[in-house]
């Protein structure tokens, strides 16, 4: 039998305490990942910032990949209601406004963009985790579908959404670290490029020229 000392190495927590600790681990992971590339982050860094032992992290997350996917899903899910609100309420320059929200969110929360691009390029994510990532991507694409339907698109809506998603990510990848420009200048430049992209998509929808 375990000694009394060993029994209390991991004290029993209620559900609220477990959630609070789990959230603290995810918060620490986000903060570390915002400062370091994915391959430079380790569980010890995260544990130190969260104020717990590295071993304790593994009681909540089986490995670093699971932890970062949880962090990404938690943060990226906040983008969805912002897109919904814009699509439901804005009447003018809608594509441009949606593009602006997407660019601004992933610029202000750069750690989520870094996670997203890492996972998109990572070839060894297991099937269950990949499906969870696909779920959040589909959620964004579903909002873009609603955007284009509201703008009058009648065919190939999903293809439009894929192209729009790729174009916006391309802006972020290309310009978020633009040499010789301040943060404000970079943000303004991305906003202007996004406006051009939005107008191209608006013209495409209005012309009905999308082909199968």
How big is the CA angle at 136 (ends 51 and 147), to the nearest 5 degrees?
135
Contact present, 34 and 72 (Cβ < 8 Å): no
Contact present, 80 and 67 (Cβ < 8 Å): no
Domain with CATH 1.10.357 in the chain: 74-207
99 closest CA partner among 33, 7, 193, 25: 193
Domain with CATH 1.10.10.60 in the chain: 12-61
Model pLDDT, residue 40 = 82
Torsion angles phi and psi, residue 79, rounded to 5: -70, -30
pTM: 0.81
pLDDT of 121 higher than 80: no
3-state secondary structure the chain: CCCHHHHCCCCCCCHHHHHHHHHHHHHHHHHHHHHCCHHHCCHHHHHHHHCCCHHHHCCCCCCHHHHHHHHHHHHHCCHHHHHHHHHHHCCCCHHHHHHHHHHHHHHHCHHHHHHHHHHHHCCCCCHHHHHHHHHHHHHHHHHHHHHHHHCCCCCCHHHHHHHHHHHHHHHHHHHCCCCCCCHHHHHHHHHHHHHHHHHHHHHHHHHCCCCC
Burial of 36 (0-12, 13-18, 19+ CB in 10 A): middle
Model pLDDT, residue 203 = 93
Ranked by mean pLDDT, which of 8-17, 24-33, 106-115 comes out on top? 24-33
Q: Which of 102-106, 116-120, 185-189 has the lowest mean pLDDT?
A: 116-120
pLDDT of 89 higher than 50: yes
42 closest CA partner among 70, 15, 64, 12: 64
Model pLDDT, residue 7 = 41
Q: How far apart are CA 111 and CA 7, in angstroms?
A: 38
Instruction: Report residue 210's pLDDT band, with 50, 70 and 90 as the boundaries.
Output: low
Model pLDDT, residue 167 = 97
Matching CATH number, 12-61, of 1.10.10.60, 3.40.50.2300, 3.60.10.10, 3.90.550.10: 1.10.10.60
pLDDT by residue (tens digit) across 36-88?
777 788 899 999 999 999 999 999 998 888 888 888 888 888 899 999 999 99
| CATH of segment(s) 74-207 | 1.10.357
């Amino acid at each position: 039998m375990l000694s009394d000392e060993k029994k209390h190495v991991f004290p029993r927590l209620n559900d609220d305490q477990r959630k609070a600790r789990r959230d603290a681990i995810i918060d620490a992971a986000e903060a570390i990942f915002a400062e370091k590339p994915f391959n430079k982050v380790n569980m010890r860094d995260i544990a130190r910032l969260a104020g717990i032992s590295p071993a304790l992290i593994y009681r909540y997350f089986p490995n670093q990949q699971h932890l970062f996917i949880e962090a990404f899903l938690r943060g990226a899910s906040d983008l969805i209601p912002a897109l919904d609100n814009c699509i439901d309420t804005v009447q003018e320059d809608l594509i441009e406004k949606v593009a602006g929200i997407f660019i601004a969110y992933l610029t202000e929360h750069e750690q989520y963009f870094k996670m997203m691009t890492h996972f998109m390029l990572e070839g060894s994510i297991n099937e269950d985790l990949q499906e969870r990532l696909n779920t959040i991507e589909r959620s964004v694409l579903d909002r873009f579908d609603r955007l284009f339907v509201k703008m009058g698109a009648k065919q190939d809506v999903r293809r439009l959404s894929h192209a729009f998603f790729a174009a916006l990510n391309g802006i972020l990848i290309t310009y978020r670290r633009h040499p010789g420009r301040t943060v404000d200048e970079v943000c303004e430049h991305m906003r202007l490029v996004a406006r051009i992209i939005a107008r191209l998509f608006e013209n495409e929808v209005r012309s009905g020229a999308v082909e199968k």
